[in-house]
A and B are shown apart, each in its own frame.
Chain A
Amino acid sequence: MRVIVGKGSCGIAAGANDVYDRLQALSEETPCPGTELGITGCIGMCFLEPIVDIYPNPREEDCLRLVHVQESDAEAIWHAICEDDLGSLDHLKIKQEDEEFLNQQTRIALRNCGVIDPEKLEDYTARGGYRSLWRILKKNITPEEVIHEIDVAGLRGRGGAGFSTAFKWQAARNAPGEEKYLICNADEGDPGAFMDRAVIEGDPHSLLEGMLIGAYAIGAKEGIVYVRAEYPLAIVRLKKAIEDATAAGYLGDNIMGSDFSCRIRIKAGAGAFVCGEETALIESLEGKRGMPRLKPPFPAQEGYWHKPSNINNVETFANVAWIMKNGGEAFAAMGTKNSKGTKVFALTGKIKRGGLVEIPMGRTLRDVIFGIGGGIRGGAAFKAVQLGGPSGGCVPAARLDTQIDYNELVITGAIMGSGGMVVMDESTCMVNMARFFLDFTTKESCGKCIHCRLGTKRMKEILDRIVEGKGEEGDLEKLEELCNAVKDGALCGLGNTAPNPVLTTLRYFRREFEAHIREHRCPAGECRALISYSIDPDKCIGCTACARQCPVSAIRGEVKKIHEIDPELCIKCGNCKTACRFDAVKVR
C-alpha cells in the first residue's frame, strides 16, 4: 500500500505537515510491512486540503482519496491501513460530486502534479520523464525539427501575452552569437494566480525538461529560473530537482553522452510585480532595479548581458516535453483555431470548489465556474469573474458563455492572462474592485514612464473619492480619458494594461459607479463610507453576541431583548455581522 500526503503550499497551510508527521510517527511506532508513506505536490483540489491518498496497489492509479484530514484522524487512518479495513474511513472519503472537479479536466501541464513525489527524480522518470529529451538527443532530432514540432502544436505563451513559442525560439536560434540564454519566468505576480507555483512545487523536473529542450532548440548552454521570493517551497524543490538531475546526467556537460551541455540555475526575485515583464526581469537578473527596457531590440536579439535570450513562463515549458512525446498534432487537436492545447487556471474567490483547473481551450467560462467549480459558495448570485489580474478585466454574467480563447477573451475587455480566475458574487463592489487593482498598479509601477507613474495615481485618487462617497459628475469621463492616455503612453505591458480593470468595470457596471456618485450608495454593501449597519428586530433574539464583539460599544440592548446599533458610534467594522448567528445584522 502507498499512502501519499498532499504537501503543496496550500496543503501545508491547511495542516498537511501535522498530518504527515503524525502518520510518520505512527508508522515508526506500529510498523506496517509493505506500506510506504510519501508526499506529493499540489493535487489542485485546494478546497479539500489536507488530502491523503491511499493506493491499495501502488502500480495502479486507483486510490482512496481522503479529504479535510486532520492530525486527529491520523490514528484511525493508520489503524485502517494496518488492519486492511479501508472501509472504516468512509467518513473521510471524498464526495462523489467533488470528484467531478478533477474528472472534467484534461491535464497536460499538470500531468504529474499530485501524482508523483516532486522530490524524487525516479518518480518523474517512471512516468516517462526525460524520455523526450533522451529521444531528441539519441535520435539526432535537430533543433529545427524541435521548433517545427512546437510550431505544429501551436503553443502560445502561457504567461499572459500569448505570443507564439516557436516564433520566439526561432528568433533566438537565428540571432547571431555563440553565447545565448534561456530564461524561465517564474515571477508569478498576478494576485490570485498560483499555477506556476503548483507546477514547480509539484513537478519541477517537467519544467527542467521543457527548459532543456528549449535550450537545445535555441542553442543555449545556460538556463536561469527567476522565481518569486514569496515561493520558498518552490525554490527548495527546484533546487533539489536541479541537483538530482545533474547527478543523474540529465543536466550539465554532455547530457546523456551527447554533445549537448546545459546548466540551469535559480535566481530568487526580490518582490516587484513589474519583473514579470521580460525586459524588467532581465534587468533584475543583472542585479539592477527592475525597470523595463525599450523594445526593440527584443530579448531574442539583445537580452541578458545583451546576449540573445529567450524567455518563457513555467506553464509553457511544462507543456514542451508532452508535445515532443505525443507530437504537435495531438496538442493542436485540442482547443480552438487560435488557441491550441490546454490552459491551467487558478480558480478562487467566492467559489464552491476552488483550486487548479486545466482544461482544453475552447471550453466556456461557465463550464469552468459552474461545471468544475460548482458555482458560487454560499448561495448568492454570480456577479463577475476577474481574469488576468491587474492587466485583465471583470467579465459579467451575460458573457459567461465566452470561450476560453486568446482572441475571444480580448473581445470582452479582459485577457487570457496567466490564469488567475477570481469569482465574485453580489457582495463584491465593482468600484472598489477597480480601486483595488489600481492601488496595486500604483504601488507596483516602476516609475519610468510618467503616464503610468502619475496617471494610475490620478485614477486611483478619483476612485478613492468615489468609494468614499465624494464622487462628482464628470469623474467617470475623466477616468476614461486617463485610461486611454495611460494605455497609449506607457512603455511596457504593466502600464499598457493597468487601465483594463477600470475600463471593464466601467463598461459592464457603470450603474454601480453612478450609484456611488449620484445616490451616495454602494449597491454591494461594501464601501464603508456609504453603508450603515442595523439590526432586524424580527430576527434578533437578544443573545448579545454582537454587542460583545463590538469594539466601540455601539450596540445597546439587554439579554433576550432586541438590540440596536448607534449609527453615531458605529465604525462599520462588520464584527457584529460576523458574530450574529441569526442573520439579524443588515447592511444598507
Chain B
Amino acid sequence: METKSDLSLIEPTLSTYRDQKGSLIAILQSAQDIYGYLPMDVMEHISREAQVPISTIIGVATFYTQFRLQPVGKHLIMLCDGTACHVNSSELISAAITDELGIRDGETTEDGLFTLKHVACLGCCSLSPVMMISGQTYGALTPDKTRQILRKLAEKGGETK
C-alpha cells in the first residue's frame, strides 16, 4: 500500500535543477537520499514539476541499479559480487547472510532492519570478499565474521528502535 510522501521535501532540489536540462538522474538521486527510495507519488510530482513524462522517469528509475522503488531496511547490506570476491568465495558469505537473516538478494527482514543487495564490484578487491553496510566497508569476510558483524548491528539496531 502506498503511503503519502511529504512532497515539500523535494522542492529545494526541484528549484536547484529547474533550469538545468538533463538533470533527471540528479533529481532522482536527491529524491532517493531524502525518502530512502523512490515513492510513486514523488515520481509523479517530479514528472509534473519538471515536465518530464512519468514513463520516462520510470524508465530511468528502473534502468539504473542505484534506484529503488521499494523502501529498504535500516541497514542496507551491499554484498560485493565482483570477480575478486567471486574467486575468494563470496558465495559462502551470501549463504551465511541468508542463513543468519533469512533473506535473499533484494529482500528485507520482517523487522525492517536489514535489506540484502548483491552489487557489482565495490572496488576493494584486495580485501575480498567484501560487503558494505551503511557506508562502512567490511573486508576479508568469513561466514563466521559476517554473522558476528550482523549480530552486532542487530543489537545496536534494537536499542535505537
Interface residues of A (CB under 8 A from B): 9-10, 12-14, 46-47, 49, 188-194, 197, 229-232, 267-273, 284-290, 305, 346, 348-350, 354-355, 386, 389, 420, 422-424, 428, 433, 436-437, 440, 444, 446, 551, 573-575, 578
B71 within 8 A of A: no
Whether B77 sits at the interface, judged by CB under 8 Å, is no
In the complex the two chains form, what is the Cα distance from A285 to B23 in whole Å? Answer: 8
B residues 125-141 near A (Cβ < 8 Å) are 125-128, 130, 135, 137-139
Q: Which of B23, B28, B121, B143 contacts A192 (CB 8 A)?
A: B121
Q: Are B22 and A285 in contact (CB under 8 A)?
A: yes
Q: Which of B65, B67, B130 contacts A13 (CB 8 A)?
A: B130
CB B130 to nearest CB in A, in angstroms, measures 7
Selected A-B contacts with CB under 8 Å, 27 pairs: A13-B137, A46-B126, A191-B81, A191-B82, A191-B83, A192-B84, A193-B125, A194-B121, A194-B124, A229-B29, A230-B119, A232-B135, A270-B25, A270-B28, A270-B65, A270-B66, A271-B65, A272-B65, A288-B56, A289-B59, A348-B83, A354-B125, A355-B126, A420-B83, A573-B92, A575-B143, A578-B143
Given contacts A268-B29, A284-B25, A551-B99, contact A422 B87 (CB under 8 A): yes
Tell me whether A287 and B130 are in contact (CB under 8 A).
no
Please give 9 more A-B residue pairs, beta carbons under 8 A apart, in addition to A191-B82, A573-B99.
Answer: A13-B137, A49-B127, A188-B123, A191-B121, A192-B83, A267-B25, A271-B65, A286-B21, A444-B120
A287/B87 in contact, CB under 8 A: no
Contact A46 B127 (CB under 8 A): yes
Give the distance to chain A from B88, nearest Cβ to Cβ, in Å: 7
Q: Which residues on A sit within 8 Å (CB–CB) of B139?
A: 10, 13-14
Known: A13-B124, A230-B122. A436 touches B83 (CB 8 A): yes
| Nearest residue, chain A, Cβ from B64 | A270
Q: Which residue of A lies closest to B140 (CB)?
A: A14
Interface residues of B in 55-96 (CB under 8 A from A): 56, 59-60, 63-67, 81-84, 86-89, 92, 95
CB < 8 Å neighbour of A230 from B23, B25, B29, B123: B123
B124, A286: Cβ atoms closer than 8 Å: no
Q: Which residues of B contact A47 (CB under 8 A)?
A: 126
Contacts of B119 in A (CB 8 A): 230
Report yes or no: B123 in contact with A194, Cβ–Cβ below 8 A. yes
B82 touches A192 (CB 8 A): yes
Residues of chain B with a CB closer than 8 A to A573's CB: 92, 95, 99
Is A270 a contact partner of B122 (Cβ separation < 8 A)?
no
How far apart are A439's CB and chain B's nearest CB, in angstroms?
9
Interface of chain A, main secondary structure: mixed
CA gap between A436 and B86 in the complex, in Å: 8
A303–chain B nearest beta-carbon distance, Å: 13
Contact residues in B for A354 (Cβ distance below 8 Å): 125-126
Question: Which residue of B is nearest A196, CB measured?
Answer: B123
Instruction: Check A191 against B84 for contact (C-beta < 8 Å).
Output: yes
Interface assignment of B47: CB less than 8 Å from any CB of chain A:
no
Is B142 an interface residue, CB under 8 A from the partner? yes
Known contacts being A191-B120, A287-B25, A349-B87, is A578 close to B142, with CB within 8 Å? Answer: yes
Decide: A14 near B127, CB < 8 A? Known: A229-B66, A436-B83. yes
Chain B's nearest CB lies how many Å from the CB of A364?
22
Determine how close the nearest CB of chain B comes to the CB of A588; give it in whole angstroms: 18
The residue that B88 contacts in the complex, of A9, A10, A13, A349, with Cβ under 8 A, is A349
Question: Are the CB atoms of B87 and A424 closer together than 8 Å?
Answer: yes
CB-nearest residue of chain A to B126: A46
Query: Which A residues are in CB contact (< 8 Å) with B92?
Result: 573-575, 578
What CA separation (Å) do A447 and B21 show in the bound complex?
25
CB distance from A31 to the nearest CB of B (A): 30
A46 to B128 CA separation, bound complex (whole angstroms)? 11
B116 contacts across to A, CB distance below 8 A: none
- The answer to whether B83 and A422 touch across the interface, beta carbons within 8 angstroms, is yes
Closest to B137 in A: A13
Q: Does B24 have its Cβ within 8 Å of any Cβ on chain A?
A: yes
Q: When the two chains form their complex, are residues A13 and B95 in contact, meaning their CB atoms are under 8 A apart?
A: no
Instruction: Report the minimum CB–CB distance from A379 to chain B (whole Å).
Output: 16
